[in-house]
Structure 1
Amino acid sequence: MENVNFTLNLFIEYLQIEKNYSEYTIACYKHDIGEFFEFMEREQIEGLQQVSYSDVRLFLTELHQRKQSSRSIARKMSSLRSFYKFLLREKIVLENPFALASLPKKEQRIPHFLYPDELEQLFVVNDLNTAIGQRNQALIELLYATGIRVSECCNIRLSHIDFSVCTILIYGKGNKQRYVPFGTYAKEALERYIQDGRQQLASKAKTPTDILFLNARGGALTPRGVRHILNEVVEQAALSLKVSPHVFRHTFATHLLNEGADLRSVQELLGHAHLSSTQVYTHVTKDHLRYVYLHSHPRA
Structure 2
Amino acid sequence: MLALIAAPDLAAARARWLAYLATERRMSPKTVEAYERDATSLLRFLTGHLGEPPDIAAVAEIAPREVRAFIAARRVDGLKPRSLMRALAAARAFARFLEREGHGASGALTAVRGPKLPQSLPKPLSPEAARAVSDADSRAGEACAPWILARDAAVLALCYGAGLRISEALGIRRKDAPVDGRNDVTVLGKGAKMRSVPVIAPVSRAVADYIRLVPYALDPDGPLFVGARGGPLSPRIVQLAMERLRGALGLPDSATPHALRHSFATHLLGRGGDLRSIQELLGHASLSTTQIYTKVDAAELMRVYRATHPRARA
Letter in 1 for 2:304: V
The CA deviation at 1:38 is: 4.2
Q: Please give the alpha-carbon distance, in whole angstroms, between the structure 1 residues aligned to 2:310 and 2:39.
A: 57
Aligned mate of 2:92, from 81, 86, 92: 81
Is 1:39 the counterpart of 2:49? The answer is no
Q: Please give the alpha-carbon distance, in whole angstroms, between the structure 2 residues aligned to 1:87 and 1:222.
A: 38
- Bigger mean CA offset, 41-50 vs 245-254: 41-50
RMSD: 2.7
The CA deviation at 1:6 is: 5.0
Relative to structure 1, the CA distance from residue 162 to residue 116 in structure 2 (aligned partners, 3 Å threshold; closer, same or farther) is closer
Q: TM-score, normalised by structure 1?
A: 0.85
Letter in 1 for 2:73: E
Is 1:55 the counterpart of 2:66? The answer is yes
The CA deviation at 1:102 is: 2.9
Is 1:133 the counterpart of 2:139? The answer is no
Aligned mate of 1:168, from 163, 173, 185: 185
Specify the SS of the correspondent of 2:123. Answer: coil
2:17 is matched with: 11
- Which aligned pairs between 1:92-131 and structure 2 lie closer than 5 A? 93-96=103-106, 97-122=108-133, 123=135, 124-127=137-140, 130-131=146-147
The CA deviation at 1:223 is: 3.3
- Which aligned pairs between 1:217-236 and structure 2 lie closer than 5 A? 217-236=229-248
Q: Per-residue CA shift, 1:63-82, capped at 9, x if unaligned?
A: 34456443332222111111
Specify the SS of the correspondent of 2:186. Answer: strand
Relative to structure 1, the CA distance from residue 213 to residue 7 in structure 2 (aligned partners, 3 Å threshold; closer, same or farther) is farther
Q: TM-score, normalised by structure 2?
A: 0.82
Relative to structure 1, the CA distance from residue 208 to residue 147 in structure 2 (aligned partners, 3 Å threshold; closer, same or farther) is closer
Q: Per-residue CA shift, 1:177-217, capped at 9, x if unaligned?
A: 211112222111100112222x43x68xxx99611222223
Specify the SS of the correspondent of 2:111. Answer: coil
The CA deviation at 1:95 is: 4.1
CA contact (8 A) 2:246 2:255 kept: yes
Q: Please give the alpha-carbon distance, in whole angstroms, between the structure 2 residues aligned to 1:172 and 1:99.
A: 29
The CA deviation at 1:5 is: 5.7
Q: Please give the alpha-carbon distance, in whole angstroms, between the structure 2 residues aligned to 1:299 and 1:102.
A: 43
Paired-residue identity, %:
33
CA contact (8 A) 1:126 1:136 kept: no
CA contact (8 A) 2:173 2:220 kept: no
Q: Please give the alpha-carbon distance, in whole angstroms, between the structure 2 residues aligned to 1:26 and 1:223.
A: 20
Q: Please give the alpha-carbon distance, in whole angstroms, between the structure 2 residues aligned to 1:218 and 1:13.
A: 34
Letter in 2 for 1:144: Y
2:224 is matched with: 212
Letter in 2 for 1:147: G
1:71 is matched with: 82
Q: Please give the alpha-carbon distance, in whole angstroms, between the structure 1 residues aligned to 2:40 and 2:52.
A: 14
Q: Please give the alpha-carbon distance, in whole angstroms, between the structure 1 residues aligned to 2:48 and 2:257.
A: 38
Letter in 2 for 1:150: I
Q: Where has structure 1 moved over 6 Å in runs of 4 or more?
A: none
Is 1:262 the counterpart of 2:274? The answer is yes
Structure 1 alignment gaps of length 5 or more: none
CA contact (8 A) 1:126 1:137 kept: no
Letter in 1 for 2:157: E
